[in-house]
Structure 1
Amino acid sequence: MSRLPASLILLAMTGACGSGSGGGPGPSNPGTTPNTPAVEITPAAGDEWYRKAVFYEVFVRSFQDSNGDGKGDLKGLLSRLDYLNDGDPNTTQDLGVDALWLMPIFESPSYHGYDVVDYERIEPDYGTLEDFELLCVEAHKRGMRVILDFVINHSGVGHPWFVESASSPTSAKRGWYVWKDQDPGWKQPWSQFSNTPTWHKRNGAYYYGVFWDGMPDLNMQNAELRAEVKRLASLWLERGADGFRLDAARYLIETGAGAGQADTPETHAFWKEFAAHVRQAKPDAVLVGENWSTTPIVATYYGSTAKVPGGDELPLNFNFGISEQILAGLNGNNAAPIAAKLAEMARVYPAGVSDAPFLTNHDMVRLSTQLSGNAGKLANAAALLLTLPGAPFLYYGEELGMSNGGENNDESKRTPMPWNGTAGGGFTTGTPWYSFSGGYTSGRNVAAQENAAGSLLSRYRALIRARHASEALSRGGLKLLSSTQGTQVMLSFVRTLGEERVLVVHNVTDYNVSAGPFDLPGTTPEILFADSNVSALTKTATGWQASLPPRTTGIWRLKP
C-alpha cells in the first residue's frame, strides 16, 4: 500500500478546507479543528468476491409477479435479472449489482416469512425448488451471487419441531426450544423501558420467544439442533446459494435476563462454529450478520483475525451506525457526523475486516421519506453509500427514490416495486398484495427513469460502474480528510489500495463549495465520476482544488 505525502497527512490532521459561495449565504467556515488525529481504515484483508460486491436486497413478494395473483415470486424475479445485471460489463442499462439478498423464501404462514415452518421447502407463493435453482443458475451466468435470509434465531410456532417440542416434557425435541416450568419474567432486552414479556405459556409450561409468541427461539445450545442447522446450511449451499444473511444474530443464545439475552459469549462461540462449517462446505460463501447495535458491539461479531483474514466469525456485518449518521448528516447539512462514525470504525473495527454499509432496509422507514423526498439529499446518499469502504447493500426501490407506503406498519416499508406508472405498476396483472407507495405514477418508477440521464436510477448505475472501475473504490482502505467536529460542508477522503489512490469529495449542503487545497504533488487527476458542473481538479499555488455545486460529488483517480 502506498503512503500519502506528509503534507496530505497533515491535511488529514487539520481538516480539509472548504467554503460556501454562490447559491446563497453558505457557511463561512467549514468547522475544521486543529490537531484532529489522522483517520485511516485499512483495506480488506481477503480477496473473496463479497468483499467488493454491491448487494441488492429483494423482498420477493414485492418485486415481480409472474402469474397474476398479486404476489411477487421467483419466476418474476428471474424475469427481471437483466435489470439488476445483464452480465455484460460494457452495457449501461442494467443496475450492475453483484449479489442478491433474498428476504425469507422458506415456507411460512406470514407475508414476511420470518416465522419459518419448513426450512427445506420454498414458500408456495414464491414457487418451487426448481424455480430457485434456475434463479441461481441464471444469476450466476450474469455474474451475480445469491444469498438467503437464514432465520435460525427462532422458527414459526407452527414448525413441526415446535409442535413436537411443545407436546410433552419428554418429547425428543423438547430441548430444541427453551422451556421453563415457571415464567422467569424476562422482558425484551433492547430497551430498559420495555415491558414486553419474552416467556409464553403453552401446555402448562413456558417457552422463550424474544420477539413474540408466534416465533419461539431455537435452543442453539442443543447439539442435535446445531447439527441440523449446519446440515440445512450445507443443503442450501448445494442448491445454489452463495451464503446467508443471519437475522437477529446477537440474540441467539440467552443466559439470563437483561444483558444475558444479547451478545453472550455462547452466541459468539456458536457463530464461530457455524462460520467454520460454512467455510468448509463452500469456502467462498458469505455470512452477513444483522447485529442492530452500537459500533463497538458490531465490531465484536467479526471475531478474531489471527487465523482467518477478515475475521473467524461473521465476515460482513451491517453497519447500522453509518446508516444513522448518513441520515443525520444529510438532514443537518453537515458531514461531521459521518466523518465521526468513520473515525469510530477506524478505532474499534479489527484491521482488515469488511464493512457492510447501507442506507435503509426492510425494517426502517424508507430513505426517501426520511429525507422528505429531497432530490439533492437522495443524490448525496447514493454517492456516499457507493464510495464508502466495504460491501454496500441497496434496498430494492431505493434506486428510484421509493417512499414509504401510507400506513405506519412494516408492510408500508415493503411495498411493490413500480416498474411503470400503470394501475398494476408493471408488477402484476392482478391486484397487488399491498398498495404501491406514493408518487409511483409520476416519476418514481423504472420506466420513467431508465432513459433519463439525470434520474436517480441513472445516478446509481453510473456510481456502481465507477466503483467497479476502481479496485481502490471497490475494496480499498480510506484516509479521512474531513474533520469530525463542528460543521463540515464536505466529506472528503482518499480511498487506497496498493498504488492506486482515489480522491472522493461530497458537498452535503445546498451551497456551492470549494474543495481543497489538497497537497497532491505530481498528481494527474483522472475523473471516475463527477456531477454536472463539478469543476476539474486543478492545481493552484496552494494545492489542488475543485468547486462543487450543491449536493454534488467528484471522484478522481490520482495518477502519478
Structure 2
Amino acid sequence: MLRASRLLPLLAVTSCVTGPSNPNEPPPARVELAAPASDAWYTHAVFYELFVRSFQDSNGDGKGDLPGLISRLDYLNDGDPSTTTDLGVDALWLMPVFASPSYHGYDVTDYERVNPDYGTNEDLERLCAEAHRRGMRVIVDLVINHSSSQHPWFIDSASSPGSARRDWYQWSDKDLGWKPPWDIFANGSTWHALNGAYYYGVFWSGMPDLNLRTPAVREEVKRLASFWLAKGVDGFRLDAARYLIETGGGLTGQADTAETHAFWREFSEHVRSVKPDAVLVGEAWTTTPLIATYYGSTARLPQGDELPLNFNFPLSEALLKAAQSGDGNGIALKLSEMSGRYPAGVADAPFLTNHDNIRVATQLAGKPGPLVTAASVMLTLPGSPFLYYGEELGLANGPTSRDEDKRTPMPWDSSASGGFTTGSPWFALAPGHERTNVATQTDDPGSLLSRYRALIRARHASPALERGGLTLLTSTRGRAPTLAFLRTLGSERVLVVHNLGDTSETTGPLELEAESLEPLFTDASVGSPGRSGTAWSLTLPGRATGIWRLR
C-alpha cells in the first residue's frame, strides 16, 4: 500500500488561495492522513442512516416498518452497478429497532425482539438478506449504556436490595448528586429515587444505566451481540460510547474512563470472534483528541482494538461552517488536527448531520449552493461517510428543535402524506416536502439527489477516493475560498478541488508531477486545467467541484 508520505518525491505543494502570511514564519506543516491499514468492507463504504418509523409504512398504520423499508431498498441500492437511478450506498444504519415504549427506541425493554410497530425478527432477517443480495450491509443501534426503566431486568433489580439482578444497575442509599458530565452546572442529579434508594441514570430516570462492571451484564451484552450477528446483522452503532463505566462524579469519573475503554476492547474482541468482518461504530460526541482514543491501540490490529469507526463530530461542524461561510480554513485546520491525533491507518466516519442535529438543509437556510458544497466536500474526504435519510434531497427540519422534528417521515412524492403511508403519518412531514421529495428530484439532472448519486458513483469508480489517504494542498493559514487535496492509494492519485464560495476562484499554482489530468467528476462550468511545466492552475465557478485522476 502506498501511504501519503510516499508521495513526497512526486509532489511539491503550493497553497491554493490564502490570506497574507508573515514571511518570517516557518511554512505550515504538511497535512497528511494515511489510507486505512485495513481493507475491511466498511473502510470503503458509504452508509445511510435511517429511522425505520419514518422511512416507509407498509400497512397504513402511519408508522414506518421493516417491510416498508424492504420495498424501498432499490432506491438505496438496486444491486446493479450499471444503473444510475439508485443512490448507490453500501450500508444501512438502522436507528433503534428493538422493543421499546418510546417512539425513538433508545429505552429498550427487550433486546431480543424487534419493536412490533416495525414488524418481527423474521422481517429483520429478511431485510438483511435482501440488502445483502443488493450488495449492502446492515448495522443496527445497540444501546447498552442503559436500558428502559420498564425492562424486566430493571424491574427485578429495583424490587429488593437482595434481588439477583441488583448489581445489574448502580444503586446507592443516598443521592450522590452527580451532575451530567456534559453540563456540570445543570440543575438536578443523575441519581433517581425509587423504593427507598437511588439508581444512576445519566440521561434521565426512564433510562437507568446498566452496570457493566458486573460480569453477568457484560456476558449478556456479548450474548445479545452474537444473537443479532447470527441473524444477519453486520455490526452495531454504539450509542453513548463515552459513558459506560463510571468511577465517580464529574467529567473524569463519568466519561471516558479507562474502564470504559477496557470494556470496548473486550466487546470488540468478542464481536470479531463471532463475525470477523463486523463493524462497530462509536458515538463519542467530543473533541478530536478524545475521539481518537476510541480507536484503541493499532499495535496488534491496524483498525484499532476498540471501535474501528468513530463519528467525527468536530469535522461535521467544520463542514457546515465552511459551506455557510465559503471559507475552508476550518476544514483544513481540522484535517491537520486529525493528522496529528488519529492513529495512523484508522478509518474516519465523516457526516453532516444526524438524528440529534437540526437538519443540514435548515442550518444552511435551504440555499442550493451551500447544500451542494457540504455534500461535495463530505463525499470526497477520507473515511466512511454517513448520510442521514432525506439529506440527499435537502429535506428541511420540522418547525421546532424537538427530536421528532429532526426525524420526520421521508417524502417520496408531493402528496399530502408524501407517499410515506396510506394512513395518517405518525408525525407531520417537514415543511416544503411538496417540492422536496424523491419523485420531484429523481429525473432532474440538476437536483441535489442527482448530485449525491453522481458523487457516490465517482467515489466508487476510484479506489483512491473510496479509501485512499489524503495530502492537503490548501494552506492551514488564512482564508481558504478553495479546498484542494490529493487522494492516493497505490499508484492512483486523484486531485480534488472545491470552490466553497459563490464567486469564481482560481487555484494555484499547484506543482503536480502529472502529464495530464483525467476528469472523474467535474461540474459542467469547470474549465480545463491550465499547465505551465509542472505548475497547474484550475478555475472553478462558485460552488463548483472538480475531481481529476493524475496521469
One fold, TM greater than 0.5? yes
Opposite residue 368 of structure 1, the aligned amino acid is A
Among 1, 7, 12, the residue aligned to 1:9: 12
Displacement of 1:5: 5.3
Shift of 1:33: 7.0
Distance, in Å, in 1 between the alignment partners of 2:22 and 2:409 is 46
Counterpart position of 2:282: 289
Give the 5 Å matches for 1:425-504.
Answer: 425-442=418-435, 444-504=436-496
Q: Is the 8 A contact 2:470 2:487 kept in 1?
A: yes
Aligned to 1:337: 330
1:386-421 CA distance string (max 9 Å, x none): 101110000000000001001230000000000000
Residues 514 and 534 in structure 2, CA contact (< 8 A), matched pair in contact too: no
Cα distance in structure 1, aligned partners of 2:484 and 2:19: 12
Structure 2: 5+ residue stretches without partners: none
Is residue 2:235 matched to residue 1:243? yes
Matches within 5 A, 1:54-133: 54-133=46-125
What's the TM-score, normalizing by structure 1?
A: 0.96
Structure 1 residue 541: Cα displacement: 5.2
Contact 1:8 1:518 in 2 (8 A): no
1:150 corresponds to? 142
State how far apart, in whole Å, the 2-side matches of 1:526 and 1:193 are. Answer: 56
Which residue does the alignment assign to 1:402?
Answer: 395
- CA positional deviation for 1:542: 6.8
Show the counterpart of 1:353. Answer: 346
Alpha-carbon offset, residue 6 of structure 1 = 4.7
Q: C-alpha distance in 1, partners of 2:501/2:473? A: 17
Instruction: State the Cα distance separating 1:317 from its structure 2 match.
Output: 0.2
Give the residue type in structure 1 aligned to 2:7.
Answer: L
Q: Structure 1: 5+ residue runs without aligned partners?
A: 19-28
Q: Letter of the aligned partner of 1:271 in structure 2?
A: W
Contact 2:58 2:65 (8 Å CA) reproduced:
yes
- Partners of 2:8 and 2:168 in 1: CA distance: 58
CA distance in 2, matches of 1:203, 1:147: 38
Contact 1:517 1:542 in 2 (8 A): no
Give the superposition deviation at 1:197: 1.4
Q: CA deviation at 1:192?
A: 3.2
One-letter amino acid of the counterpart of residue 184, structure 2: Q
What SS is found at the alignment partner of 1:516?
coil
- TM-superposed CA distance for 1:545, in Å, is 1.5
Contact 1:32 1:483 in 2 (8 A): no
Asked if 1:181 is matched to 2:173, the reply is: yes
List per-residue Cα deviations over 1:489-545 (Å, max 9, x = no partner).
111100111111100001111110012221123332111111121112231357112
8 Å Cα contact 2:493-2:549 kept in structure 1: yes
Question: Which residue of the partner structure matches residue 555 of structure 1?
Answer: 547
Give the deviation of 1:196 after TM superposition: 3.5
CA distance in 2, matches of 1:489, 1:376: 14
Residue 544 of structure 1 aligns to a residue whose secondary structure is strand
Taking the aligned partners of 2:279 and 2:33, their CA distance within structure 1 comes to: 21
Indicate whether 1:165 and 2:157 are aligned. yes
Distance 1:33 1:519, change over 3 A: farther
Query: 1:209 aligned to 2:215?
Result: no
- SS of equivalent residue, structure 1 residue 210: coil
The one-letter amino acid paired with 2:12 is I
What's the CA shift for 1:329?
Answer: 1.6
State how far apart, in whole Å, the 2-side matches of 1:472 and 1:270 are.
34
Residue identity in the other structure for 1:119: Y
| Matched residue type, 2:346 | V
Mapped partners of 2:220, 2:546: distance in 1: 50
Q: Which residue of 2 aligns with 1:306?
A: 299
Letter in 2 for 1:374: K
Work out which of the residue numbers 258, 262, 271 in structure 1 matches 2:264.
271
Aligned to 1:226: 218
* CA spacing shift, 1:223–1:140, aligned 2, 3 Å: same
Contact 2:11/2:513 (<8 A) preserved: no
Looking at structure 1, the residues matched to 141 and 503 of structure 2 have their Cα atoms a distance apart, in angstroms, of 42
Among 313, 316, 319, the residue aligned to 1:323 = 316
The one-letter amino acid of 1:274's match is: F
Number of aligned residue pairs: 544
Query: For the aligned residues, what is the CA RMSD?
Result: 1.2
User: Does residue 378 of structure 2 align to residue 385 of structure 1?
Assistant: yes
- Percent identity between the two aligned chains: 64
> Helix, strand or coil: the match of 2:12?
helix
Comparing 363-372 with 530-539, which one deviates more in the overlay?
Answer: 530-539
Hey, what does 1:422 align to over in structure 2?
Answer: 415
AA at the equivalent of 2:244: L
Aligned to 1:412: 405
Q: Residue type matched to 1:430 in 2?
A: G
Residue 31 of structure 1 contacts residue 488 of structure 1 at CA under 8 Å; is this kept in 2? Answer: no
CA change 1:204–1:5 in 2 (3 A) is closer
CA distance in 2, matches of 1:172, 1:113: 27
Distance 2:287 2:411 in 1: 34
